[in-house]
Structures are given as C-alpha cells and as structure tokens.
Amino acid sequence: MEWVPTVSESQGPLYLRIVAALEGDIAAGRLVRGQQLPTHRALAAALGVDLTTVTRAYGEARRRGLIEAQVGRGSFVSESSARPAAEGAPEVRIDLSMNVPPHPLEAQLDERIQQGFEAIRRKSGLTAFLNYLEPGGSERERSIAARWLRARVPHAAPERMVIYPGTQAIIFNLLMQLARPGEVVLTEALTFPGMKAAAARLGIRLVGVAMDEGGVIPEALAQACRAHRPKAVYLIPTLHNPATATLSPERRAAIASGIRAADTVLIEDDAYGLLDPAAVPIANLVPERSYLATTLSKCIAPALRVSYLLAPDVAAQQEMRARLQASAQMPPPLMVALATYWIETGIAERIIAAIRNEAAGRQQLAARALKGISFAAGRTGHHIWLRLPAEWRREDFVASLLRAGLAVVGSDAFAVEANPPQGLRISLGAARNRAELGEGLRLLASALRVPAARRQIV
C-alpha cells in the first residue's frame, strides 16, 4: 500500500506540512529506509492537492536529505534519513509561484466589493442569495453574461451558457462528459496543472502536443489527432500557462480546421483572454464543436469562483447544468450576484482595465530587472517563462531560489510527458506590490548570473 501522509491542520504552507508528515513517519518507523514513495501525481491525487504542492514538498524533502530521487525509478526514503533535519525549512519571503492577478489601488476592489453588496442589498436583500438557487445561474444572470461575452464571441447566448464555481469544476465536468477512463485527450506539451490533476483522478490519458515559441503547432496537433483519435482537445490559446504564447490568427484557423477534420471537440480555456481582448477565441471559428471557458479568476480575483461556460448547443448546456448540479449544486450565489452587478454596470471592465494596466507595468519591470536574460512573456500576462541555462538542473535551481527566500514553479508541474524542458514559471502578479516583485526578480537575476558550478547545491 502506498504511503499517504496525515497532514497537520496547523498553519504554514501545505507543502511544508507534507514534509513534516514525511519526517514524522520516518522517525516513527511507518516509513523505512529505501522504501519507495508515491509518484508526485499519485500523491497529489490521493491528497486532493495541486501537483505543484507535492513537487515542492518532495524538493524540500530532498534538500533536507529525507528522500532520494533515482532517475527512471522514482523517489525513495533516504538510506540516511532517519535523523532530525539539520535545519528548519527556508522561509519564503517572496512567493512568485501562484499565478494570480495583481490588485492595484486603481482597481478599487475593497470599495467596489462593499458598494456592490450594498447595491444588491438595496435591490433584493442579501439573504435572497443564501438559499439553493438555479444550477448554472438564473436566466437573467446568464443573459447578462452572454451579452458581455458577445463583444468577443458573437454567438454567445444565454441558453448555451452555464455559470460554474471556477474553471477547475468546468474542466472536471467536461472530462467526465467527453471521455471515459483510458481514453485520450490532447493538450499542449505543457499545460495547466489543474487539467493534469483532473485527468489523473478520472483515469483519462493526456497526450502532449509539440509547441514552439508561437504556441501549439497545428501540424503536430493534426498528426496527434490522426494517431490517437482523441475525445477532446484542451488548449490555452491566449497568454498560455506557462509558456506565455498567444496563438496567431493563422494558427487558430488551422486548429479549427483540424478539430473539424478529426471529428473531435475543443475545450478552450480562455482564462487569460480578457487580458488580451484582441485575441479572438477559436470557438468563434468552430462554435458547433467548442466548449469555451471564460473566468474572472485571472482578470479580477480567483476567490470570486465565477466562471462562464459557453456550450456548443442547448443539449450540451443542459447536460453540463445537470453535471454541475450533481457535483457542486450551484456556483456561489452571492459571488455570482456581485459579478453580475459589476458586469451589468460596467464596473467589471474598469476593474479588468486597471489589472491589465498593472500587469503591463509588471511586465516592463521584469524586462528591466532581467535585462540580458532571455525569457518569454506576454505584454499583459501575469507570468513569464524562463528556460534555464544548460548547466543548471531545474530542481537544483528551484531549491537554491527557495533557500534564498524566493518561490517559483518548475516545468515539471506543467509537463504532460516525461523529460520536461528545463524551465521556470515566474508569476508576476503574485507579489503584493512592485517593490516586492522587484526584489524577487533581483534575486532571480542574481542566481542566473552565477555559474552553477560555483553554487553550493545542498
């Protein structure tokens, strides 16, 4: 039976609590020297956490000498780890690991949340939203969302829309709808960790498709469709996470043609589309075969838990509403009411514009701080993608940054296949302000400019 830790509910980062559970089980004899540990993916699925969390936990456990990684075999309890850690965990002073939008003063979120709830209270009372409401949103809420979305997707209609409690729930429900265990869904070679976690939980096989600096390669996607006959294709066409690429109109058209030719379905994750409104969703080109997921998580705030799914037809919309009701009942009514009020009054657009401007400013800061260092970026994106120099091993570099107090995410969290590229995602929006971001980027630049051979890797 594979080891599954009992993770303390105490405060502190979850990955460090996993390390503490590992250390405790070794000391108590529940884990023995040389015992093989679950894979990163298996442990993430068992605990119901993000793969990135387990990757950071295993990396920290290796740093402390608790476990050893053997290429091609996995992770094992170290032969010399039955001892207390020599030192405590490094303090994370600057966390650039979570891809969230910044909240500049210009967005006025505190004031607008308060004013929004007051307006809702005056109109209908807040307690009206404390009961069970319609799964997938009311007719009015869906109509307002559809009218808003039509600026970018002309065929958006309320009878084809479902309001979900976040895009992760959309992905999970769509995978359950479109594929059975063992069947194939294609993604970019690097993809959203939440997609990987959902597919692993459902037993669905992900196959990664080759990318270049422009994003997924249409010819490679067409070839993969012929080879695997996928049940669906999942793509992030705009400000890709983590690679930052935005697909050109030519690639979007080629992909739409390929979806039709393969007789398959597109799941378009439009998480970052509102940050680059000039990018036209692929769903416009193949509406009858597309599920388009648009969220407020990356353009306003993830805790709103409000995402919008545009289904290809009414029958698909009704099926997805039924799946939402069976899995989560409904999106959070008060948050949907607030989002609807913001959209209807134009406040949402003003918030998004402020966040978009702040994202652009942080990208400019990154360009200055990392001058002379090659990385990929989108002008209004929340992250950059950095390929490491050949002399660095990704896990060593991430560990060295962590010892310096800086947290980032390695490419293994996003890789669909084995042997991921030696890269890092640095999330610019996660810093509380530009001063903190500047300090984190200076730490990163300093680490990159010191040859690996001169650094002590513990």
What's the average model confidence in pLDDT over 120-128? 94
74 and 177 fall within a common domain? no
Whether 303 and 274 map to the same domain: the answer is yes
Q: Is 149 found in the same domain as 26?
A: no
List own/partner pairs for 150-159 with CB under 8 A and 24 or more apart.
Answer: 151/277, 152/273, 152/277, 152/280, 152/281, 153/281, 153/283, 153/284, 153/292, 153/310, 154/284, 155/284, 155/287, 156/310, 159/314, 159/317
Token representation of residue 345: 């009054």
Q: How many CB atoms lie within 10 A of CB 384?
A: 25
Map residue 145 onto helix, strand or coil. Answer: helix
CATH number for the domain that contains residue 61 = 1.10.10.10
Query: Average of pLDDT values for 30-41?
Result: 84
Are 275 and 214 found together in one domain? yes
What is residue 437's predicted lDDT score, i.e. its pLDDT? Answer: 95
| Candidate from 56-65, 289-298, 324-333 with smallest mean pLDDT | 56-65
For residue 41 the two structure tokens come to 């993916």
Distance CA 404, CA 451 (A): 16
Residue 309, both tokens: 């799914």
Tell me whether residue 222 is in a domain.
yes
pLDDT at res. 92: 75
Q: pLDDT tens for residues 382-424?
A: 999 999 988 888 888 998 898 889 999 999 999 998 888 999 9
Both 22 and 112 in one domain: the answer is no
CATH of the domain at 297: 3.40.640.10
Question: What is the radius of gyration, based on Cα positions, of the chain?
Answer: 22
Residue 30 resides in a domain: yes
User: Which range of residues forms the domain containing residue 59?
Assistant: 14-89
Check whether residue 138 and residue 225 sit in a common domain: yes
Q: Check: CB of residue 221 under 8 Å from CB of residue 233.
A: yes
- Name the nearest CA neighbour of 370 among 380, 382, 355, 385: 385
Residues 6+ apart with CB under 8 A from 237: 215, 246, 247, 252, 255, 268, 270, 279, 281, 282
Instruction: Please say which residue of 348, 364, 389 terminates a domain.
Output: 348
The least confident of 31-40, 132-141, 229-238 is 31-40
pLDDT at residue number 51: 85
Give the number of domains in the chain: 2
Same domain, 39 and 182: no
Mean of the per-residue pLDDT values for the chain? 91
Q: Is 81 a residue whose pLDDT tops 60?
A: no
DSSP class of residue 3 equals -
More confident residue, 194 or 393: 194
Same domain? 283 vs 212: yes
Q: 139 has which bridge partners? A: none
For residue 449, what are the contacts with CB-CB under 8 A and spacing of at least 6? none
The verdict on 142 and 210 lying in the same domain is yes
Distance CA 52, CA 191 (A): 12
Query: Pick the residue with more confidence: 174 or 421?
Result: 174
130 in a domain, yes or no? yes
Q: Residue 457 — pLDDT band, cuts 50, 70, 90?
A: very low
Tokens 């996607």: give the residue.
221
Is 140 contained in some domain?
yes
Domain boundary among 89, 116, 147: 89
As a whole number of angstroms, the distance between CA 111 and CA 129 comes to 21
How would residue 306 be classed by pLDDT, with cut points 50, 70 and 90?
A: very high
Q: What pLDDT, on a 0 to 100 scale, did the predictor assign at position 194? A: 94
Instruction: Out of 11-15, 346-350, 397-401, give the one with best mean pLDDT.
Output: 346-350
- Which strand (E) or helix (H) includes residue 75? strand 74-77
Judged against a pLDDT cut of 90, whether residue 338 lies above it is answered with: yes
**85 and 110 assigned to the same domain:** no
d(CA 335, CA 351): 16
Same-domain pairing of 32 and 120: no
- Whether 454 shows a pLDDT value over 50: the answer reads no
| Lowest mean pLDDT across 26-40, 313-327, 345-359, 368-382 | 26-40
| Parallel, antiparallel or unpaired: strands 161-164 and 215-216 | unpaired
Distance CA 200, CA 68 (A): 24
Residue 96 lies in a domain: no
Structure confidence at residue 89 (pLDDT): 53
- Bigger pLDDT: 233 vs 455: 233
Which pairs with CB-CB distance under 8 Å and at least 24 residues apart come from 143-149? 144/340, 144/343, 144/344, 145/308, 145/340, 145/343, 148/343, 148/348, 149/294, 149/308, 149/310
Q: What angle do CA 271, 273, 275 make, to 5 degrees?
A: 105
Torsion angles phi and psi, residue 437, rounded to 5: -60, -45
Q: In this structure, is residue 6 part of a structural domain? A: no
The pLDDT of residue 19: 87
Residue given tokens 């990018």 in the structure block: 279
Asked if the structure places residue 291 within a domain, the reply is yes
Q: Specify if 423 maps to a domain.
A: no
Contact indicator for 186, 221 with CB cutoff of 8 Å: yes
pLDDT at 35 over 80: yes
Among 348, 365, 396, give the residue marking a domain's end. Answer: 348
Claim to verify: residue 276 and residue 210 sit in the same structural domain: yes
Determine contact, residues 14/7, Cβ cutoff 8 Å: yes
